[in-house]
Structures are given as structure tokens and as C-alpha cells.
Structure 1
């Protein structure tokens, strides 16, 4: 069986692959953009099988991924209630923000928003996922911009007949899952596959809705606060067909729509997207294979924001972001060569072009918005990379890589007009910018004994600020944040040292990591209301003015520990702990922040999970601990420690199962936000869902 086929077969057939930074899976595809033994990957690699993701007691996919140490969203809320602009991915607390510092992929196509960098998790299938790979602190040499903190790749199931070299006849089948539960939460997801001549047609879709729950803590809640509801649906189609004897063509299309309420009557947002991709995979001979991919994405987004009075009896519109059209075009070619002595080389080129623009009304007065803003631009990235791995000795494995990226920004603009008169109040056109970035990496794996694996790795990576960070100021409540078209490129040097031990049913893993992030983009507090201030203008009482600025140097260092034990085939335990020391070390433009902890990064976090099967019944409890963290850059607003217990239960019925998921079993208070005027937001309360799934 070919490496790609072997990899997918393991994901599809293994009933419960647990998330570990060890060699539990023979092949990984994300770290080097090509199939390679997981044991040879020098960076922290976590692999979760599709069955594990479905069994994890979490309503959302991003909630399930939180079982992996170091994975989090920008805030503590997951995509069940979080505004899409707050769904940026953070790995190991590397300067979390709405604009992800980590790249998220679905079958090799970026999921990061073209305009803002965040990830809309609700457009990802869960029932038809083969698995997920998380490369923490690595992968930037293969993927370039946006992979500064690491890479998360989600892989969908593919029928064996679609794989090169697999000659079994095509088969038809499908998956169906339906759930219903608290807060009128309900969903249906369906995936079908049908052989048609030499090819296979796969159709899938989901419809989801929830009436939601209130986001404001009970002691702060007022008449204006309502439940945060959401609705979304998507449909996808994929056609796979052999091309000649040694190639496979895959054509994919997806359409997605979502609407959300964000906790008050006025605050809502909606998203729409259409995406198409074409991939061609070929293996001309046994020592060489290549993949070519092209994709196009077109989307629009809208969102409204308000400020709420002190008694929370009324809200005043703050902005109406009525349209954010954005598009992305991309293409990539990757080749993989196998040399004598099991040495491997992967190399390739890629290109991505994004364009986006915000169109919004702001400055509400006398019952209407008085001003309109149009701001945006274009970004282009072209990269060339190569990675080579080889055995230096029977117990030593070396990986070296290098990447060169050429980037360009053009048509940056910000135009503001008076809505009543049409008078132009501001008309900025920013000079085009470009640059060349070099991203090297190196890793070494030592296997001193069959049970041990010791690894060391380092990389340099970069990220350009998103169009949203460069050109769009915004107001959320009484927090006003100004954009900055002069933001510099973020650069990081990442190093880690890890050791893994496997003996029988016991697995232990550890990793020390150290990141030096230079010119990190942060939302820096520059004024407190009430009053009128330079840059941010008028700030009401209790409000805050911020500007996006480059912080000279952040230091993010820490320790990851993982353990897994399977005393019997029916019983397993997994535990993970993350210590994360994330500090501002130098900030010329904001010296008061030096020594402060990064906002939204807890120092301690842990998960404890188990799986117990008896007869037809399987129980999957999980406990998550989120340490104390700060809401703001000045470390004045504290979010308390939270301990959340979740429980999953399923009963197998032939080819299907019925299941129960209870998230936050103890109804723990999870503080997700705190404002300067003392208003606290909270996360998911106790939420129970029951459902069934079947496969045929």
C-alpha cells in the first residue's frame, strides 16, 4: 500500500487514536507537506483520528481539539457562541489574537479568513473527518505566511478506491448524524458517496441551529441582554477520478452560509462563502510523487456592534459593517522524492492572493449613522521551499529545510465620507509594500532505545499583518481600536526539545519550547475615557482606546507534558498539561507593557480524559482546567480559573450508535470576557445533546 493510502487507512480503521506527541501513527502529511513517518517529525505532533474527534464530549470541532495541549482560540469561548472575528487559533499562547498566528487547513486549502485571518469552524465537517494533525511550533518552512505558530490540518475521508495504487472496486456508502438538546440546539449532517464509472461522487452537508444562551453573567445582566443564537448550513460535493494509470483528479466545491446573534438585539453577524478546488495527485514511479492544487474562494461578511448603557437597559449602535467582500486565489505544487537509505526530499512552490475590503457605517448620532468607511487592499505571497530528511546513523534522523517567500501589498486604501453630504473626510492611499522572507528549519531525532525518542527542532517564521489589522479600525462596545497601515512583519524564532517514551500500554511525552516573537502586532491601550484623544477620538466613560502597534519582542516559553495509559483494551486514560510563560520583553512604543503577561494566555492549563467500553456502552469523560489569565494588555482585567467537566456516552447499535454529550457537566462559571466597567461575559453553561449516527 502506498504511504498516503496507509496513512488514511490507519485513520479510518483505528477505533480510538488518542492525541499524543508520540509515534502512535505511522505516517503524517502536514509537517513536510508530504507523507513521512510520524517518528521522524522533530516538532511536536498530535494526531487525532476521526472517531476520537466524534467521541470527544464537545459540541463543536474546535471544542474537541482543545484536548490537545496548547490549542486554543483567541478567547475561551468556542465557535458555538464566539463571533467569527474572535475565532483566531492560538498554539502554545504565541501572542493570541483574532488574526490567527497559526495556519488552519482543510485538505490542504487554507481556512483562515482572507481579510482577517480568523477561522469559521462551523464550515468544517465533523462526521466525515478522517482526522486532524496539529504541528505545534513547526511547519512554517513547508507552508509559509500564517504558519508562524504552527499548522492545524483537518483531513476528510476518502474512499480507498480513490487512492493511487488501490485496485479494489469502488463502493457506495454514507454517514448520517442527528442531534438535539438544550437551548433548542439541533443539527443534521449527512455524507454520501456513490461510484460512477471510474470515479466516485461524494455529497455532504449540514444544517445547524441553536437558540443559544446569554453571554453576560447573571449579576450583570439587564433587559438588553438576550441569548446568542446561531444558524448555519453548508453543502459540499467532491468528484474523484483516476487519470491514466498513476494519477488521481479531485474536484471539490462548497457553499456555506451562517447567521449569528451576539447577545443583544442589534449585534448580529452573517457570513457567506463559495469555494472550489482542483487537485491532481500523481506517482509516475515508486520513488517520486507529486501533487498540484488550485483553489478559489469568494465570500462576504457583515457584522453590527453597539454600546450598552450602564444599566443595560438600552443599546446604541456603534457601527454597521454591512459588507466585507473578500476573495482568495491559490495554487501549489509539491513533489516528494525517496532516495537510497530511506532519505526523502519534498519541495514545492505555492502562491496565494487575497483581496478584501470593509464597508461600514459609523458615528451614530440623532438616530442614524453619519459617516461611512471603505478600507482594504490586496496581498500576494509566492513561496519556494525544500525539506530533506535522512538517517545519519541507525539511531539518528536529521531534517533540514529552507523556504523563500516574496510578498507584496497593493491598493491599500481608507476612505471616509459624510453620509448626508457626500463630503470626503479622509482619503488615504497607502504606498505599495513588498519584501523577501527566509524561513529555515532544522530538526534532529535520536532513538537511543526502542522505547525512547528524543528530539530537538528549531525554525524561523514570519507573518504579515492581515488586511483587517492594517486598514480597519473598529469599535466593540466602548472599546475603540485604531488600525495601523504601517505595521511591520512579525518574525519568530522557535526552538523545542522533546522526549517521548513508550512501553507496552504506557506512553509519556514532554516538550520544552522557547519562542522569541519580534514586532508582534498587539492591540495596545493608549487612552482611557471619558474624553477626546489623539488617534482614537472620543472615548465614553468606562471606555478604552487602543491602537494596533508592533511590540518589539515577546518571549513565550513553556513545558508540555502528556501521558497515556491503556491498562486493558476497553479502558484508557490520557492527561496533558501545559505551562506557558508568555511575557512582553521589549516594547519601545508601549514601555509600560514590559514585564506584563500576554492577554488571553493562561499560565497553566490541563486536560484529563478517559475512555471506557463495556459491552455496547462507551463512556468518554473529560476534565479541562484553564488557569487564570488577563483580558487586557495592561493586566488589569482578570479572568478566573475554570474547571470544566464534560461527559460523552454512546451505545453501539450494529452499524450505528446513539450518543449523549454533556458539556460543562457541573455548570461551572467560565469567564470569557471582562470590561473596564465590570461587565463579565461567561461561556457555555451545562449543555446536553442526544443523537444518533450511522454509517453504511
Structure 2
């Protein structure tokens, strides 16, 4: 899984999805790339991306066990968020959920992808809203050649997974399915009858139909997904489902795309009794229907050493949550309907200069955003009488952003680069309107949230010889970050939230001044021989909150869920022609569970091992061990000190095919 290396070439290309090449000068930004082999090496795409230091979901939990609402992706550890502060696209179409901004990784099996490019730093230019800490640009496989990829494996705890792609000249099909009995997040000593395994059943199916008329290429892609989870507490479970459609038309120097996404989420939450002897229903999120739709357009041109791109995009979302809450005397006594609409759209222009020893790029955007049609109504479940009808004001604004970067050869194989950028992310419908509960902790929504903006500078060096390496320093300032701020501690009754039991905490989403972060990141890779390669990477970030008047108690604190140090290392060795051995190590420093920095999650490491025996040039049998040393990695801690952990050692045996 090389970092900062050229994207891999796909063998036996027949027809690719219509896409335009990126402008020259992209090397001026901090970039990591993965090829098809790397993306298909593990069962979950987010696990592959997290081998880049600083890339993470909101918590340490992977998408195989995390609730859908905390599967948003963030980069550089500036301030992880359940909604995610990075934009994820598939051949240009956004993959973030229209209601919450998170990503359902079930819908993106690695077997269906040919590459992924991570661009760290705010993604102005062609990316726009949501690309606050960066962009993950995914590319789907080319069609043709029949069965082009297949994975089938069985593992510990009655787990199995199968995924594959099949294509003709006009059609590409991708399917995946997974089932596992899961594991207990709370370990012996603290576990009680209230604790259950984190089971998962999921599946996805996607089809891309494509063709060409004269010099115009076109494609229509449709996909569906569904996943069912038990959250690790008796009675706490979720069911996420949805579908997407994208229509793309492209010529030699232009591209048009329209897309739509539909999603729904059912989610039940419980409160935990003292001693973890039982759970009581706390919230039943019956449905969360949401629809997102939009378009993007781009036009490219060249003039000598210069190239340019102009375009625009727009995204709209509407959705609402329907739920039951306030469980008393064996029944829910209140119902809630909350939601609204959002709209964001912008225009951009970017130019790039490409010469043998120098590349330069600069671009600017202007986006307008709007949140409107908000509502929050609560009723008595027995009588239907209205108990709350909160007025929610519309909001709108204009946000200019820009980015620029330069890369130049210093001498021989040594290059230097520098970049500056600005980006923004408007609040999601989930952040504006939906409160949520995890165990005894409650987080309230806030319809008065405004967009986050990020400004950054970075500079670095890179070497391209037999040992390929990069080293960069960066400074980011995140203004008006949306943060879960502690506003009360149970036991007690609070406005809107109601009763918070002992051991519980009440938080509210708020814009809290700014977060200032500076850091260093780097990677190195080399081939010691044709049979042995090594790689290592690190990211160190010093991030602190300035809560200002909105949250002075947070000033000087580290953002919740933001580790200071992340290290990764890996090796691949082929001692015999058919035998390949790989090892991947990830270390993460201490992070805080909460905004007040009271709950510490200890540093931890995990080692993944894999051995494959090649049956042919494109197929192999393999055995893999995730968390091979069975280390305990803390992923959460309640106010009363109960710690939950990531998955224990998991061994897989399977067959894979890659063409």
C-alpha cells in the first residue's frame, strides 16, 4: 500500500468510467494513493484507508462494529467527527450520507475499486463543501474480461464474507455480503448481563452500464446496500439501508454528472442499569428517510504549459427523523419528528502550470449555502397532543475558499513543495436536528449551528530514488468547529433532553471558537530486493481548542477522539515464488473520549498478518490474522469508568482472485 506513489495501472482495461484527468500540480498537496490490490486486501475499505496515519473514523472502532452514525471519515487528527470532515467520492459522485454526512462503507467493497487517492488539506477547487480536512477520491474498476475480482473467506466467531466483480464491455456488476456473530466490546471484569456481541449482517449490489457515442462517453451507475447490527447492549441495534444513482456524460475536455442518494436508518438506544445488570429502552429511532441529489460539471483546456478547469456543483438534501422516546412504566410516552432541508452550491476555477522541474496550481471557489424548512415537533404518544413545536429559523450565507500549491525539483531526486488552502463544511441535517443517545449519555441537536471553515499552510520535501520518502509540516486553523459540548451531568432532569441517569452526561452540538493544530507527517518506502519491500509512515498533530465565549471550559483542551501520534509500518516478503507474507502494524497514542479531557483511552497497537499461496498469476489461497497478538485497544469509556474495546484477534481463511 504505497504512499505518495503513482496510481497503479489496471490490467486488461476494456471500458473505464467516464472521468477527466486531474490537473497537473496535484503533487503540491499531501497525497496518498492505493491501488486495486491494496484496496481488496482487507474486508473493509475504511481499514485500508486507516493505514495512512491521521486517517480515522470518529472512534477507533472500525466500520465492522461502529454504529453507522460515527462512520464519517476525518484526516490528520485535527478534530474527528461522527459526521466526518472529509469528502468521499466515487468517480466524482459524493458518497457521504445525505442526512448525517457519514459513509456507509458496506456500499463500497474494495473488490469493486481500481484505486483511491487521499488528498490531505482542505479541498477547495473541484471538491467544494464537505472537503474540510481533505478528500478521498475513489475510482471504480474498468469493465470487461468477465470475472475480474473475487474474495471468499470464513473466519472466527462464525464469520464469512464474499465479494466480487463481473464485467462485459457494457456492464460492470459488483456485489458483497458479510455476516459475523461479532464480539463483546466490554471485557470480563466489567461485563454484565446488559452486554451483548456486536453482530453484523450486510450486503451491497451495484451495476454500471456504459457506452460511447462518437467521442462522448456515458455511464449510468446504480447501487443498493443494507446492514443490520447489534450494538453491544441488549436491545440496542440499527438497520441502515439505501441506494444511489449516478449518470455521467463526458467528452475529451468536459464532464457532466447528476446523482441522487436515498438512505434510511433505524436505530434503538438503551440506558444501562447500575452494575450493568439490565438495559431499559431509551429511544426508538423508527425511521430516518433522507434524500440527497445534485450535479457537477467541469470543463478543461490547455494553453502551452498551462492547463485549466472551470466548473460548478450543487447538492441538496432533505430528511427527517421519526422516533419514540421518554420510556416510562413499560412504554414510550413521547414521539418526535425532526428534520429539514439543506442546499449548497458553488462555482470554481483552477489553473495549473506543468514543467519538467516545476508545477504550480491555484484555484478559487464561491459557494452559497442554505438550511431551511426545519422542524422539531414532539407529541404525547397516548393522546397525540403537541408537547413541543420548536421554532427553527432558516439560515444562509456565502463562503469563498481557495487553494494554491507549488512543487519544484531542488536537485537530483529531491523535491520541495508548499501549499495553502481554505475549505468549509456546512452542518448536516443530523447535527442540526437529531439528538441521540449512547447508553446513558445524551447529545442534543442545535438548529443554530453555522458552517465550519478551515485555513491551512503546509510545506514539505520528497525523495524519489531507490528509497522513496516524504516529510511535511502543516498548520491548520479550524474555525467554528461543531463540537459535542458537555452541558450537564446526571442524575438530573434537563430541558429538551429530559432525565439523565447517574453515570450519564448531557452534551449539545455547538460551534466553539476554533481549533489550532500543527504537526509533522512523513512516510518512507523501499524495495530491499525483488522479493522484499518495507514501508513506514507517521503523523504527529498538536491540536488544542480555543472555546472562546461559547465554551471557555474547553480552552486549552485537546479535541475529543484526536490522538497526537499515529504510526504505521508494513513489510511484504516473498520467500518462495508462490508464497507471500505481509505484516502491517498500526500504533496510536492516547486520545480523550470526551471534550473535557477527563476520560483517557490508552495508547495501543495492532498487528495484522497475512500469508498467501499463489495458485496462478491471478489467484491465491490465504490465511490472515487481524490483531494477531490479541491486544486490547480501548475505543470508548462511559462516565462511570466502563471501557469498551476493539475486536480481539480474528483469523480468516479464504480464496482471492484479481485480474
Shorter-chain TM-score above 0.5: yes
Q: Secondary structure at the match of 2:390?
A: strand
Match 1:201 to one of 160, 166, 171:
171
Match 1:332 to one of 293, 296, 300:
296
Separation in structure 2 between the aligned mates of residue 307 and residue 670 of structure 1, nearest angstrom: 24
Q: Secondary structure at the match of 1:85?
A: helix
Residues 173 and 194 of structure 1 are in contact (CA less than 8 Å); yes or no, is this contact kept in structure 2?
no
Alignment of 1:106-505 (within 5 A): 106-159=90-143, 171-195=145-169, 200-244=170-214, 246-283=215-252, 289-341=253-305, 343-391=306-354, 395-503=357-465, 505=466
**Match status 1:576 vs 2:537:** yes
Separation in structure 1 between the aligned mates of residue 113 and residue 624 of structure 2, nearest angstrom: 19
Residues 324 and 357 of structure 1 are in contact (CA less than 8 Å); yes or no, is this contact kept in structure 2?
yes
Separation in structure 2 between the aligned mates of residue 264 and residue 203 of structure 1, nearest angstrom: 36
Deviation at 1:25, TM superposition (A): 6.6
Give deviations 1:503-530, integer Å, cap 9, x for gaps.
Answer: 1x20111111111111111000011111
Match 1:612 to one of 573, 577, 598:
573
Residues 26 and 39 of structure 1 are in contact (CA less than 8 Å); yes or no, is this contact kept in structure 2?
no
Separation in structure 1 between the aligned mates of residue 586 and residue 200 of structure 2, nearest angstrom: 25
Q: Secondary structure at the match of 1:89?
A: coil
Match 1:49 to one of 23, 35, 53:
35
Structure 1 residue ranges (4+ consecutive) displaced by more than 6 angstroms after TM superposition: 24-27
Separation in structure 1 between the aligned mates of residue 226 and residue 399 of structure 2, nearest angstrom: 36
Alignment of 1:542-561 (within 5 A): 542-561=503-522
Separation in structure 1 between the aligned mates of residue 304 and residue 24 of structure 2, nearest angstrom: 19
Give deviations 1:116-153, integer Å, cap 9, x for gaps.
Answer: 11111111021121011100114222211110110011
Q: Which moved more, 1:186-195 or 1:632-641?
A: 186-195
Residues 73 and 90 of structure 1 are in contact (CA less than 8 Å); yes or no, is this contact kept in structure 2?
yes
Match 2:3 to one of 20, 23, 36:
20
Q: Which moved more, 1:680-689 or 1:264-273?
A: 264-273
Separation in structure 1 between the aligned mates of residue 658 and residue 550 of structure 2, nearest angstrom: 57
Match 1:640 to one of 578, 602, 610:
602
Deviation at 1:446, TM superposition (A): 1.5
Q: Which residue of 1 aligns with 2:15?
A: none
Give deviations 1:179-206, integer Å, cap 9, x for gaps.
Answer: 10101110111211123xxxx1112211
Residues 483 and 510 of structure 2 are in contact (CA less than 8 Å); yes or no, is this contact kept in structure 1?
yes
**Match status 1:684 vs 2:653:** no
Deviation at 1:273, TM superposition (A): 0.8
Residues 127 and 189 of structure 1 are in contact (CA less than 8 Å); yes or no, is this contact kept in structure 2?
yes
Q: Which 5+ residue runs of structure 1 have no aligned equivalent?
A: 1-17, 28-32, 160-169, 284-288
Root mean square deviation of aligned Cα: 1.7
Residues 261 and 291 of structure 2 are in contact (CA less than 8 Å); yes or no, is this contact kept in structure 1?
yes
Separation in structure 1 between the aligned mates of residue 470 and residue 414 of structure 2, nearest angstrom: 10
Deviation at 1:537, TM superposition (A): 3.6
Separation in structure 2 between the aligned mates of residue 477 and residue 324 of structure 1, nearest angstrom: 20
Structure 2 CA distance for partners of 1:23 and 1:202, relative to 1, 3 Å: closer
Deviation at 1:207, TM superposition (A): 1.6
Q: Which residue of 1 aligns with 2:13?
A: none
Q: Secondary structure at the match of 1:216?
A: coil
Residues 539 and 545 of structure 1 are in contact (CA less than 8 Å); yes or no, is this contact kept in structure 2?
yes
Separation in structure 2 between the aligned mates of residue 333 and residue 683 of structure 1, nearest angstrom: 42
What TM-score, normalized to structure 2?
0.96
Separation in structure 2 between the aligned mates of residue 445 and residue 345 of structure 1, nearest angstrom: 17
Deviation at 1:54, TM superposition (A): 2.4
Match 1:662 to one of 625, 631, 635:
625
Q: Secondary structure at the match of 2:410?
A: coil
Residues 7 and 115 of structure 2 are in contact (CA less than 8 Å); yes or no, is this contact kept in structure 1?
no
Deviation at 1:587, TM superposition (A): 2.6
Residues 76 and 672 of structure 1 are in contact (CA less than 8 Å); yes or no, is this contact kept in structure 2?
yes
**Match status 1:79 vs 2:63:** yes
Deviation at 1:591, TM superposition (A): 0.7
Residues 141 and 461 of structure 1 are in contact (CA less than 8 Å); yes or no, is this contact kept in structure 2?
no
Deviation at 1:174, TM superposition (A): 3.3
Separation in structure 2 between the aligned mates of residue 241 and residue 422 of structure 1, nearest angstrom: 54
Structure 2 CA distance for partners of 1:203 and 1:34, relative to 1, 3 Å: closer
Match 2:485 to one of 518, 524, 540:
524
Structure 2 CA distance for partners of 1:493 and 1:100, relative to 1, 3 Å: same
**Match status 1:590 vs 2:564:** no
Q: Secondary structure at the match of 2:512?
A: strand
Q: Secondary structure at the match of 2:126?
A: helix
Q: Which residue of 2 aligns with 1:624?
A: 586
Give deviations 1:469-523, integer Å, cap 9, x for gaps.
Answer: 11111222111111111112211101111110121x2011111111111111100
Deviation at 1:49, TM superposition (A): 0.4
**Match status 1:650 vs 2:612:** yes
Deviation at 1:651, TM superposition (A): 1.2
Separation in structure 2 between the aligned mates of residue 234 and residue 279 of structure 1, nearest angstrom: 21
Residues 107 and 155 of structure 1 are in contact (CA less than 8 Å); yes or no, is this contact kept in structure 2?
yes
Give deviations 1:294-332, integer Å, cap 9, x for gaps.
Answer: 111112111000011122121001100010000011111
Residues 155 and 651 of structure 2 are in contact (CA less than 8 Å); yes or no, is this contact kept in structure 1?
yes
Deviation at 1:349, TM superposition (A): 1.1
Q: Secondary structure at the match of 2:56?
A: strand
Residues 7 and 34 of structure 2 are in contact (CA less than 8 Å); yes or no, is this contact kept in structure 1?
no
Deviation at 1:394, TM superposition (A): 5.4
Residues 540 and 566 of structure 2 are in contact (CA less than 8 Å); yes or no, is this contact kept in structure 1?
yes
Separation in structure 1 between the aligned mates of residue 193 and residue 86 of structure 2, nearest angstrom: 39
Give deviations 1:325-344, integer Å, cap 9, x for gaps.
Answer: 00011111111112212x11
Separation in structure 2 between the aligned mates of residue 499 and residue 34 of structure 1, nearest angstrom: 28
Q: Which residue of 1 aligns with 2:472?
A: 511
Q: Secondary structure at the match of 2:557?
A: coil
Q: Which moved more, 1:172-181 or 1:304-313?
A: 172-181
Q: Secondary structure at the match of 2:43?
A: coil
Separation in structure 1 between the aligned mates of residue 32 and residue 24 of structure 2, nearest angstrom: 10
Residues 293 and 333 of structure 1 are in contact (CA less than 8 Å); yes or no, is this contact kept in structure 2?
yes
